Chains A and B, each alone.
Chain A
Amino acid sequence: MKNFRRHPVVDTAIKALSRNRLQTVLTMLGIAVGVATVLAMMAVGAGAQRSIEQQVRAAGLNQITIRAGNWRPKVTDSDEAVAHQGDARESLRHPLDRLNDDVLPITFHPEDDPMEKHDHPTARQRLGDLEAGLGSAATMTFDDAEALRQLPGVQYVAGGIHENVRVHLDAKRWFTRMHGTDVMMPSIKRAWAFSSGRFFTAREQERGAQVVVLGQVVADKLFGPGATPVGRDVALWNQQFEVIGVVTSATWVVQPAAGDDQFDAVYMPYTTTQRLLNLSKLNDITVTAESSGDISRLSREITKLLRVRHGIGDNEADDFTLITQATKALTTGGLPPSVARAVASNVAELEKVTLEQLAMTMERASRTMTWLLAAVAAVSLLVGGIGIMNITLLSVTERTREIGLRMAVGARGKDVMRQFLFEAVVISAAGGLAGIVVGMIASIGIARLLQWATVVSPWSVALAFGIATAVGVFFGWYPARRASKLDPIVALRRD
């Protein structure tokens, strides 16, 4: 640094810039505003991108649930499957006609049957090994989950066992859903918040500990609103469980309500469920994709892998069902199952379409913001650039004699040009650095004020600095060239 400062070009620049200190600072300020805006613009853009991703994930749009058993008739699997079967007549039929052949709607699951009696937990143990096969529910294993974890593009994998249970607290009891699940679940359910306590740990899952996380609804029903159930014991299947946490919704969009599947529910390690109910299979596996646009590809990969793992021949139907959030939305969104299925079976890569539509809407909003900021940035960089040109021209005029002298003692045109170009770049680069600092603060400010996530990436900082330097070179060029073209005789005579 000391050597750098001693370099005559640098030294001269510092002297020259300190000569018009106020003008120099004001010019820097102009560039700083421009650069700060550029940076904020990119931060907002990148932040919007990220918040789209987050919303998509929070909505579970990057989720695939693989349910054991295949409750759908083969013909509606997808157009692809139909084509694969090579049944020309079948594929020529109108999709709505095909629906009439259906036996059961997609949404059907024996455990959802409202007529079912839930008197005795073990009576509902239809997940036994003996019942394996097409249409049965006991085809997914922990090893399947481990195999899915290895697929590229997979973010989290959680196996699950689901039962309806009665939770007892002394004399009080509450009939609810029990989810035996994986430690990864809170990462998958992004819209979860713990009103007290925590989720179970990997260690607890490993040893099948008798710990339970209550949904907010269950906690309120058993302990009363405002109570702290953590540390207390509840009973399921006549076994004691320690309450370790209470989970509730993190967003106002979803409110815990009696009868919902998430917060009117209790959670425990799936290992605990397997141990107590003497099960070795899983009801389902939930997989999240790293990228929400990747769902279609991942679905195909999962199907391929599981078919191989389950030894399913080319002409046999899957013994599992893939459910993505998009198909779920269609089938539970109040549409008659037949209509929903008509859409689902006729729109290829449905979930992708939905995702893209959502992403597009949000992107359009952020693009408007980005363009607005881009316009501000362009204007302030232009003004800043003109400022640089102005101060450099002023400097050339003030130092005309000096330029003449330098030329007289041997400086070439390009030496003079380099000097002034360097000074212009020093102003713009210094302004750029200041702008980066201001821009970062502004990004944080925007994030706080507008509740709009912003992301300042190192790449955008580098770009902002690059733009500042480029502005210096661009607007310094003309004055520097003018200086280099001066006639030394005329320059030396100038007062």
Chain B
Amino acid sequence: MIGVHDLAKQYHVGDHVVHALKGVSMAIAAAEFVTIVGPSGSGKSTFMHILGCLDRPTTGRYLLNGRDVSTLPPDELARVRNETIGFVFQGFNLLARTSALENVELPLLYTRQGVVKASERRERAMRALEAVGLTDRADHHPNQLSGGQQQRVAIARALVTQPSLLLADEPTGNLDSTTSHEVMEIFARLSSVRGLTVVVITHERDIAAYGTRTVDFKDGLIVSDKANDARVPAQVG
């Protein structure tokens, strides 16, 4: 599914160069549920951006479904993001004054075939909302939804184009622990039941434990990469 080889990324901040990634190599198989942990500035976010085709590595290769996407032009990257990747963000990033359904429809406005027909958009968005159990909230606006519900809408939006890779950057960062676990359950289910490859960044160990494998980042390098034997059960409270 994913293969990265000696991935490096440098930023220029003023006069000095920041080495965000210093040569990262790893492979992620299809349907794997990987959690990435590490302190801030460890390069995990940069790694996630490159995985999500939002950014390109300075050096190194990134193979996504066997295709080298590290050198694609911006419009091609946009296409990959639209068709292959689903994003979930810490801050949900839902459009205000726009119904949950319309929020979920958003990626369907940018498909390679142009804007998907309204009726089909609606149908596909409803199916995605069904997958996160929110069909009864389809007409609600974000400000009428709880944080957990908002994040579930965001997950539905990430699913609507039926991507093979789901990336989440601190998806539980703005949620209380109960809803955090609910959301993580959804990711786990999507991975195990639907066979989606899921990569979640977090800095909470108990959240990281949901993954079948946890990768530790520090100073732009992977410091540990181990499989989790058993799932941590959902902790209530």
Q: Please give the distance in Å from B234's CB to the nearest CB on chain A.
A: 29
Q: Please give the distance in Å from B230's CB to the nearest CB on chain A.
A: 33
Contact across chains for A409 and B87 when beta carbons are under 8 A apart? yes
Find the A residue at minimum CB distance from B169: A492
Task: Tell whether A316 is near chain B: CB-to-CB under 8 Å.
Answer: no
Contact across chains for A488 and B54 when beta carbons are under 8 A apart? yes
**How far apart are the CA atoms of A411 and B87 in the complex, in Å?**
13
Residues of A within 8 A of B151 (CB): none
Task: Please tell me which one of the listed residues A412, A414, A415, A489 contacts residue B54 in the complex, with CB atoms under 8 A apart.
Answer: A489
Contact across chains for A15 and B81 when beta carbons are under 8 A apart? no
**How far apart are the CA atoms of A6 and B67 in the complex, in Å?**
37
Contact across chains for B106 and A406 when beta carbons are under 8 A apart? yes
Q: Please give the distance in Å from A484's CB to the nearest CB on chain B.
A: 10
A406 and B98 in contact, given A8-B115, A411-B78 (Cβ under 8 angstroms): no
Residues of A within 8 A of B161 (CB): 409-410
Q: Please give the distance in Å from A486's CB to the nearest CB on chain B.
A: 11
Contact across chains for A410 and B83 when beta carbons are under 8 A apart? yes
**How far apart are the CA atoms of A6 and B121 in the complex, in Å?**
12
Task: Tell whether A220 is near chain B: CB-to-CB under 8 Å.
Answer: no
**Interface readout for B152-168 with A: 1 if CB under 8 Å, 0 if not?**
00000100010000000
A411 and B110 in contact, given A6-B118, A492-B89 (Cβ under 8 angstroms): yes
**Interface readout for B101-115 with A: 1 if CB under 8 Å, 0 if not?**
000001101110001
Residues of B within 8 A of A492 (CB): 89, 93
A409 and B107 in contact, given A15-B98, A489-B49, A492-B89 (Cβ under 8 angstroms): yes
**How far apart are the CA atoms of A466 and B54 in the complex, in Å?**
39
Task: Tell whether A83 is near chain B: CB-to-CB under 8 Å.
Answer: no
Q: Please give the distance in Å from A31's CB to the nearest CB on chain B.
A: 26
Task: Tell whether A405 is near chain B: CB-to-CB under 8 Å.
Answer: yes
Residues of A within 8 A of B74 (CB): 412-413
A410 and B79 in contact, given A415-B110, A488-B54, A492-B89 (Cβ under 8 angstroms): yes
Task: Please tell me which one of the listed residues A6, A404, A410 contacts residue B111 in the complex, with CB atoms under 8 A apart.
Answer: A410
Contact across chains for A409 and B110 when beta carbons are under 8 A apart? yes
Task: Tell whether A294 is near chain B: CB-to-CB under 8 Å.
Answer: no
Q: Please give the distance in Å from A397's CB to the nearest CB on chain B.
A: 16
Residues of A within 8 A of B89 (CB): 405, 492
Contact across chains for A408 and B81 when beta carbons are under 8 A apart? yes
A409 and B75 in contact, given A8-B115, A415-B110 (Cβ under 8 angstroms): no
Q: Please give the distance in Å from B47's CB to the nearest CB on chain A.
A: 12
Task: Please tell me which one of the listed residues A404, A410, A412 contacts residue B107 in the complex, with CB atoms under 8 A apart.
Answer: A410
Residues of A within 8 A of B70 (CB): none
Find the A residue at minimum CB distance from B82: A410
Contact across chains for B110 and A413 when beta carbons are under 8 A apart? no
Residues of B within 8 A of A7 (CB): 115
**How far apart are the CA atoms of A415 and B95 in the complex, in Å?**
17
Q: Which range holds the interface residue count of chain B? A: 20 to 34
**How far apart are the CA atoms of A488 and B49 in the complex, in Å?**
10
Task: Tell whether B148 is near chain A: CB-to-CB under 8 Å.
Answer: no
**How far apart are the CA atoms of A415 and B78 in the complex, in Å?**
11
Residues of A within 8 A of B43 (CB): none
Contact across chains for B54 and A409 when beta carbons are under 8 A apart? no
Find the A residue at minimum CB distance from B158: A409
Residues of A within 8 A of B115 (CB): 7-8
**How far apart are the CA atoms of A15 and B52 in the complex, in Å?**
29
Task: Please tell me which one of the listed residues B78, B97, B98, B109 contacts residue A407 in the complex, with CB atoms under 8 A apart.
Answer: B78
Q: Please give the distance in Å from B87's CB to the nearest CB on chain A.
A: 5
Residues of A within 8 A of B75 (CB): 412-414
Find the B residue at minimum CB distance from A8: B109
From B95, B118, B161, name the one whose CB has the most chain A CB atoms within 10 angstroms.
Answer: B95
Task: Tell whether A126 is near chain B: CB-to-CB under 8 Å.
Answer: no
Task: Please tell me which one of the listed residues A402, A408, A414 contacts residue B87 in the complex, with CB atoms under 8 A apart.
Answer: A408
Q: Which of B42-63 contact A (CB under 8 A)?
A: 49, 52, 54-55
Residues of A within 8 A of B54 (CB): 407-408, 488-489
Q: Which of B62-103 contact A (CB under 8 A)?
A: 74-75, 78-79, 81-83, 87, 89, 93, 95, 97-98
**How far apart are the CA atoms of A412 and B73 in the complex, in Å?**
11
**How far apart are the CA atoms of A405 and B92 in the complex, in Å?**
10
**How far apart are the CA atoms of A492 and B55 in the complex, in Å?**
13
Q: Which of B5-49 contact A (CB under 8 A)?
A: 49
Residues of B within 8 A of A406 (CB): 106, 110
Residues of B within 8 A of A402 (CB): 93, 95
Task: Tell whether A401 is near chain B: CB-to-CB under 8 Å.
Answer: yes
Find the A residue at minimum CB distance from B74: A413
Q: Which of B161-196 contact A (CB under 8 A)?
A: 161
**How far apart are the CA atoms of A409 and B78 in the complex, in Å?**
8
Residues of A within 8 A of B98 (CB): 15
**How far apart are the CA atoms of A19 and B97 in the complex, in Å?**
10
Find the A residue at minimum CB distance from B105: A8
Residues of A within 8 A of B157 (CB): 409
Contact across chains for B118 and A412 when beta carbons are under 8 A apart? no
**How far apart are the CA atoms of A488 and B118 in the complex, in Å?**
26
Contact across chains for A412 and B55 when beta carbons are under 8 A apart? no
Find the A residue at minimum CB distance from B46: A489
> Chain A interface (Cβ within 8 Å of chain B)?
6-8, 15, 19, 401-402, 404-415, 488-489, 492
Query: Which 9 pairs of residues, A with B, have the shortest CB-CB distance?
Result: A410-B82, A410-B110, A409-B107, A412-B78, A405-B93, A411-B110, A8-B109, A412-B75, A408-B87
> Chain B interface (Cβ within 8 Å of chain A)?
49, 52, 54-55, 74-75, 78-79, 81-83, 87, 89, 93, 95, 97-98, 106-107, 109-111, 115, 118, 157, 161
Enumerate 23 A-B pairs (CB-CB under 8 Å) in ascending A order: A6-B118, A405-B93, A407-B78, A408-B81, A408-B87, A409-B81, A409-B87, A409-B106, A409-B161, A410-B78, A410-B79, A410-B81, A410-B82, A410-B107, A411-B78, A411-B109, A411-B110, A412-B74, A412-B75, A413-B78, A415-B109, A489-B54, A492-B93
Known contacts A408-B54, A411-B109; 9 further A-B pairs (Cβ under 8 A)? A15-B98, A405-B106, A409-B81, A409-B157, A411-B110, A414-B75, A488-B54, A489-B49, A492-B93
